[in-house]
Amino acid sequence: MKYFFSAGEYSGDMHAATLIREVRKKDSQAKIWGMGGPLMAEAGADLLVDPTSDSTIGFWEIGKKFFSFKKYLSQLTRFLKENRPDVMVWVDFGGFNLLLAEQASALSIPVVCIFPPSAWAYGKGRAIRLANCVSHVVSVLPFEADFYREYAVKVTYVGHPLVDRVRPLIDRELWRKSQGVTDEEKVILLMPGSRSQEVRQILPVMLEAVAQVALEDKKLRFFLPVAPTIGRERLRSYLSAYPGLVKTISSEDVYNLMAAADLGIVASGTATLEAALLGLPIIVTYRITKFSAFVFQILRNKEQRNKPVMVALPNLIQGRRVVPELIQDELTAENLASQFRSFLGQKELVEEVREELLGINELLGPPGIMERVAKIVMAEAAQKR
């Protein structure tokens, strides 16, 4: 059968690549095209467009790339018309993929959506549009499945793919020893995001905050895994202002680091759930431009508008604030340093948070998630035939 996958940023590229491998196990003759990144290409997809190194967040930031995405949409729509895949698989990247899914649906191509847009936050309009063009929503979060079922679209809750992926490869103590960490020292994880824009907004604040606390506590060791979409050179200009403070490591070592760490300071996104699955207490940071934040408030559901904003996946899954969030104007070096000190000084709080986070594992489904998704994708493709 013929498959078209569409992902637009690093995490989507990662999940799509895993799903492509599962599809290939079951369909050895599969022909797979798509929009995505190097991980999808490595998994065997023929890429038509790669926007992953240029992905962004925020309404103003996306607006500045309008003409690039318009070109992608035109190019991919033409490809769908000429090649008529048996199914389109939409993996996250909701703003663009909703437009592409509408084009696919108009061509009678079934659309399977995994990681659908956060319509529970933005309102019914986007959910209605999705229901009109998507054949099957594959939900990775329990509350997400309940929300989309209200819109007469076929929904299957499968659990979150990170359940199968997030595992350290070596023992905690062995990793710490390999990095020269003593028993008395604490390992602190820093993750400022996988987009250049996130790093620019968040990393300087992170570094200023941890530098303050490091002056007070000499037994802290800071590690920063380098996202493939960022690279060490781009980080150097920020880290050079604090020589010797932070050690960079390969992104391939990130789960070993998370399992060995005592605390993390992490930008909102996939990494917050990865940390939660390993029971790592974290402080979540998030910042977009003021214009984008203003638009977000306007677009929020009426029901959500008067509630405190929550962005961290562990908090959204639990329906309450389990880990602290510092977002927008709250994200200052002083506030972050204060929150950091609070965690360092309260062992009981750290253990409480750790136990809460480990409980999330039970909510995200049994292993074998992408195998279940592959069966759904193939079933939808077979119906077209």
Which amino acid is it at 383?
Q
List pLDDT tens digits, range 2-40.
Answer: 999 999 988 899 999 999 999 999 999 999 999 999 999
CA dist list (Å): 333 to 196, 321, 322, 337: 20, 21, 22, 6
CB 74 within 8 A of CB 49: no
DSSP state of 180: T
The predicted structure's pLDDT at residue 95: 86
- Please, what are the domains in the chain? 2-159+366-383 (3.40.50.2000), 172-364 (3.40.50.2000)
48-68 average pLDDT score: 65
| Cβ neighbours of residue 37 closer than 8 Å, sequence gap 6 or more | 7, 9, 10, 13, 47, 50, 52, 53
d(CA 16, CA 370): 9
Q: What is the CB neighbour count within 10 angstroms for residue 47?
A: 17
Local confidence band at 298 (pLDDT 50, 70, 90 cut-offs): very low
List pLDDT tens digits, range 114-134.
Answer: 999 876 555 677 889 999 999
List pLDDT tens digits, range 326-338.
Answer: 998 899 999 999 9
The neighbouring-strand residues paired with 201 are none
> Given the DSSP bridges, would you call strands 155-157 and 246-250 parallel, antiparallel or unpaired?
unpaired
Q: Which two tokens stand for residue 87?
A: 């199914």
Look over the chain and give the mean of its residue pLDDT values, rounded to a whole number: 90
Please check the confidence at residue 296 and state whether its pLDDT lies above 90: no
The predicted structure's pLDDT at residue 300: 52
Local confidence band at 290 (pLDDT 50, 70, 90 cut-offs): low
Angle at 327 between CA 98 and CA 219, to 5 degrees: 125
Distance of CA 39 to the CA centre of its chain: 15
- DSSP secondary structure string for all residues of 240-309: TTSTTTEEEEEGGGHHHHHHH-SEEEEESSHHHHHHHHTT--EEEEE---HHHHHHHHHHS-HHHHTSPP
With 0.75 as the threshold, say if the pTM is over it: yes
Residue 227 backbone zone (phi > 0: left; psi -120 to 50: alpha; other: beta): beta
**Among candidates 13, 53, 49, 17, which has minimal Cα distance to 195?**
53
List pLDDT tens digits, range 65-119.
Answer: 667 889 999 999 999 999 999 999 999 998 899 999 999 999 999 999 999 987 6
Please check the confidence at residue 301 and state whether its pLDDT lies above 60: no
d(CA 156, CA 176): 40
Please check the confidence at residue 286 and state whether its pLDDT lies above 80: yes
d(CA 10, CA 13): 5
> Tokens 């639990």 — which residue?
318
